[in-house]
C-alpha cells in the first residue's frame, strides 16, 4: 500500500481551524524562523481516514483473530472502557491542575480512580501498598529494582550490587536491573523447569541485592518451591522480586505477598484487560511489602479521614519521581473499570478459566508436539517444534502456517531454554470452539511437517506480504522516507 506521503497533493486540507480573532503576529525572531515547512502530507479528511482504515485491515488483532501470544495475555478488551477514558471529565484534565489549589480539590474524581485502583490491586497482590506510576511492565521492573537498591542503601549495605535472574526470564529483567545499577547473574533451571535450588544457594551471598523471579514462570509453570526460594533469598539478606507478567494465571487464587515476595509489578495491559495498542501504552504498577513502603515513588495518592483524596509528596526516603505525573492515567482508568466489573468472584473465575483453557490446549496437542517439561501448566503451555525441525519444519514455519489458517501465532523461540519454542497462551476469554479450531490447525501443521514439509516454507501466502528480508532491513536500514524530488 502507498505511503501517506505518496497520496499527498499540494493544497489539500484535512482539518479546519477557527478564524483568527486576534492579529496574526508572533514573537519569533527572524533568524529562528523555519525556512522550509516540514514536508507533512496534504490530504482531505476522507483520504486520511481511508488510508488508515485500509492500513488497519492489514493487522491481526484480538478482535479479528485468535491471538495466543504466550506471556502477552491477549485477552478481550471491553469496549465501554474506551468510552470511559474519552469522557471529557477525564480526557481533558490537565495533570498540573492538582497543583493549582491545595489538596487536589480540582481533581477529586481522577484521584479517586487512582486511589481505588491501587487499593484493589494491593488487596489482590497481598501487599501493603501499590504505586500506579510505572508506565509499562519494564518500567515497573525498573521501579522495583530501584526500590530494592534504595532499601539496601538505607541500611548502609553498599556492597549488594548483584541481581540474580533465572535463565528462563524475560530480557527486560536483566535490562531493567542494569538501569538500576545492578550486575546480573543467572540462576539455572532444573530438569523440571523450576529454579535449581542448589544453584540458587550457591549464588546467594552478601553481595546479592535480590532475585527477580517470574511467577508463574515463563515456561507457564508454577514453581512449587516459591516459598522456599523467597525464604532462601531473605536468609541471605536479599529481597524477592516477582515479575507479574503472568499474574493472570493466579489472580484471585494466590497472593504473591502471601508467598513471600517483597515487591512485584503487574501489567495492566495483560491481566487487567487494557488494550496492547500494537505495543503500548501499557501500565506497570508496583506493589510492595511494608518494609519497602517508605521508598515508593512520589507523588502518592492518599485518602483522608473525611473521604476526600490528596496527593502527598513528603517522604524523605522515597526514590523520587519515576514518571511525570500519576502514571498512565487513561490505562489505569480502564483497568479500574475492569476491576469493578469483575469483583471478588470474577477475578477467581479469570485465573481458573485461563488455567483450564491452557491445559485443555496442552492436553489436545501433547501427542503432536514435544514438551521439554511434561507437566500440567498454568495459563500458558510451551511446546517445542524440535520434532518437526528434524523434518526441516521449524517453529517459525509453524507460526507462519498458522497465519494462513487465520490464527495469530504463539510466541516463538522464547523462553530461550526451550529449543524451537512455541508458547501458547489462550487466555480465559476464548471459547472452546476457538481453542478446538486452533488445535486442529496445529495438528494439521504437524501432519504437514511429516508429509509435505516444503509446503510450510512458503507460508504465509494469504497476507499482504510474504516473509520479509529482515537481514537486508538491518544491514542497510531504511527507517524514514526521503522527501520526494519536486
Partner 1 sequence: MPYIANTLEDTTEMLRTVGCSSFEELWKLVGVELPPPPLNLPPGLSEYEVVCRLRRLASKNAVDLVNFLGAGYYDHLIPAAVSEITGRTEFYTAYTPYQPEASQGTLQAIYEYQTMICRLTAMPVANASLYDGGTALFEAMMLACRVTGKRRVVLSEAVSPIFRRMIRCYCCNLDIELLEVPAGPADSAIGKLLEAVTPETACVLVQYPNVFGTVEDWSAFTAAVHDRKALAVCSTYPIALALLTPPGEMGFDIVTGEGQSLGIPLSFGGPYLGFMAVTEKYLRKMPGRVVGRTVDGAGREGFVLTLQTREQHIRRENAMSNICSNENLCALSALAYLSCVGKQGLIDVARACAANAVFAREQLLAIDGVEAVGGEAFFNEFVIRLPLDAAEAVGRLIDKGYAAGFPLGRYYPERGNQLLVAVTEKRTREEIKGLANALEAVL
**Within positions 55 to 84, which residues make up the interface with partner 1, using CB under 8 A?**
55-65, 67, 69, 72, 74-78, 80, 82-84
Q: Based on the shown chain and the rule CB under 8 A, indicate whether residue 41 belongs to the binding site for partner 1.
A: yes
User: Which residue among 128, 197, 293, 323 contacts partner 1 (CB under 8 A)?
Assistant: 323
Q: Going by C-beta distance under 8 Å and a sequence separation of 6 or more, which residues neighbour residue 406?
A: 65, 66, 441
Contacts of 66 (CB under 8 A, 6+ apart): 406, 407, 408, 426, 430, 434, 437, 438
Q: How far apart are CA 130 and CA 284, in angstroms?
A: 11
149 binds partner 1 (CB under 8 A): yes
Measured from the CB of residue 205, what is the shortest distance to partner 1 in angstroms? 19
Does 419 bind partner 1 (CB under 8 A)? Our answer is no
Interface of this chain with partner 1, residues 189 to 218, rule: CB under 8 A:
none
Member of 428, 441, 446, 456 binding partner 1 (CB under 8 A): 428
Q: What residues contact 225, with CB distance under 8 A and at least 6 apart? A: 194, 195, 197
Q: Does the protein bind partner 1 through residue 451 (CB under 8 A)?
A: no
Please, which of residues 104-123 interact with partner 1 by CB under 8 A?
Answer: 106-110, 112-113, 120, 123
Q: Write down how long the chain is.
A: 486
Residue list 385-404, contact with partner 1 (CB under 8 A): 399-400, 403
Best CA proximity match to 211, nearest among 193, 224, 199? 199
237 binding partner 1? (CB under 8 A): no
**Residue list 168-187, contact with partner 1 (CB under 8 A):** 170-172, 174-184
Per CB under 8 A, 147 contacts partner 1: no
Output the nine-digit C-alpha cell for 135: 508506565
Integer CA distances (angstroms), 120 to 129, 244, 262, 268, 275, in order: 10, 16, 18, 13, 20
d(CA 421, CA 399): 11
* Residues near partner 1 (CB under 8 A), total: 205
Report if residue 485 touches partner 1, rule: CB under 8 A: no
Residue 314 engages partner 1 in binding (rule: CB under 8 A): no
353 binds partner 1 (CB under 8 A): yes
Q: Name which position in 51, 291, 303, 391 contacts partner 1 (CB under 8 A).
A: 51
Cell readout for 248 is 493472570
- For partner 1, the closer CB: 20 or 451: 20
For the chain, the maximum distance between any two Cα atoms, rounded to a whole number of angstroms, is 76
Amino acid at each position: 500500500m502507498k505511503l501517506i506521503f505518496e497520496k499527498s497533493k499540494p493544497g489539500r486540507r484535512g482539518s479546519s481551524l477557527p478564524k483568527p480573532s486576534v492579529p496574526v503576529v508572533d514573537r519569533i525572531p527572524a533568524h529562528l524562523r523555519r525556512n522550509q515547512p516540514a514536508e507533512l502530507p496534504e490530504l482531505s479528511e476522507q483520504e486520511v481516514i481511508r488510508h488508515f482504515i485500509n492500513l488497519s485491515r492489514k493487522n491481526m488483532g484480538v478482535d479479528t483473530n485468535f491471538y495466543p501470544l504466550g506471556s502477552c495475555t491477549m485477552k478481550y478488551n471491553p469496549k465501554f472502557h474506551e468510552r470511559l477514558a474519552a469522557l471529557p471529565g477525564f480526557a481533558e484534565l490537565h495533570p498540573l491542575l492538582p497543583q493549582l489549589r491545595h489538596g487536589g480539590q480540582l481533581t477529586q474524581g481522577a484521584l479517586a480512580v487512582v486511589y481505588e485502583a491501587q487499593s484493589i490491586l494491593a488487596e489482590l497482590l497481598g501487599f501493603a501498598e501499590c504505586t500506579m506510576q510505572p508506565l509499562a511492565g519494564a518500567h515497573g521492573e525498573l521501579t522495583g529494582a530501584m526500590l530494592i537498591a534504595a532499601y539496601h542503601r538505607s541500611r548502609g549495605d553498599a556492597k549488594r550490587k548483584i541481581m540474580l535472574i533465572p535463565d528462563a526470564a524475560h530480557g527486560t529483567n536483566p535490562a531493567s536491573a542494569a538501569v538500576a545499577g545492578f550486575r546480573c547473574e543467572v540462576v539455572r533451571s532444573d530438569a523440571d523447569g523450576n529454579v535449581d535450588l542448589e544453584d540458587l544457594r550457591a549464588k546467594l551471598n552478601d553481595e546479592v541485592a535480590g532475585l527477580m523471579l517470574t511467577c508463574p514462570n515463563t515456561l507457564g509453570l508454577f514453581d512449587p518451591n516459591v516459598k522456599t526460594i523467597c525464604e532462601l533469598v531473605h536468609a541471605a539478606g536479599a529481597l524477592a522480586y516477582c515479575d507479574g507478567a503472568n499474574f493472570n494465571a493466579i489472580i484471585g487464587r494466590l497472593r504473591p505477598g502471601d508467598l513471600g515476595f517483597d515487591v512485584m509489578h503487574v501489567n495492566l495491559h495483560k491481566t487487567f484487560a487494557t488494550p496492547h495498542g500494537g505495543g503500548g501504552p501499557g501500565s506497570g504498577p508496583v506493589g510492595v511489602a511494608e518494609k519497602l513502603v517508605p521508598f515508593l515513588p512520589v507523588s502518592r495518592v492518599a485518602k483522608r479521614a473525611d473521604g476526600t483524596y490528596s496527593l502527598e509528596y513528603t517522604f524523605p526516603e522515597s526514590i523520587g519521581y519515576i514518571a511525570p505525573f500519576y502514571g498512565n492515567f487513561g490505562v489505569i482508568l480502564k483497568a479500574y473499570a475492569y476491576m469493578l466489573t469483575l469483583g471478588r468472584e470474577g477475578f477467581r473465575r479469570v485465573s481458573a478459566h485461563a488455567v483450564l483453557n491452557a491445559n485443555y490446549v496442552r492436553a489436545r496437542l501433547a501427542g503432536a508436539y514435544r514438551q521439554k517439561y511434561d507437566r500440567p501448566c498454568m495459563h500458558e503451555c510451551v511446546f517445542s517444534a524440535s520434532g518437526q525441525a528434524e523434518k526441516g519444519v521449524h517453529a517459525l514455519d509453524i507460526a507462519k502456517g498458522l497465519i494462513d489458517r487465520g490464527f495469530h501465532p504463539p510466541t516463538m523461540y522464547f523462553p530461550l531454554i526451550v529449543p524451537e519454542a512455541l508458547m501458547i497462551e489462550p487466555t480465559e476469554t476464548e471459547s472452546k470452539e476457538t481453542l478446538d479450531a486452533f488445535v486442529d490447525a496445529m495438528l494439521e501443521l504437524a501432519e504437514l511437517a511429516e508429509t509435505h514439509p516444503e509446503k510450510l516454507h512458503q507460508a504465509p501466502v494469504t497476507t499482504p506480504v510474504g516473509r520479509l528480508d529482515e537481514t537486508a532491513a538491518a544491514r542497510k536500514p531504511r527507517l524514514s522516507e526521503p522527501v520526494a524530488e519536486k
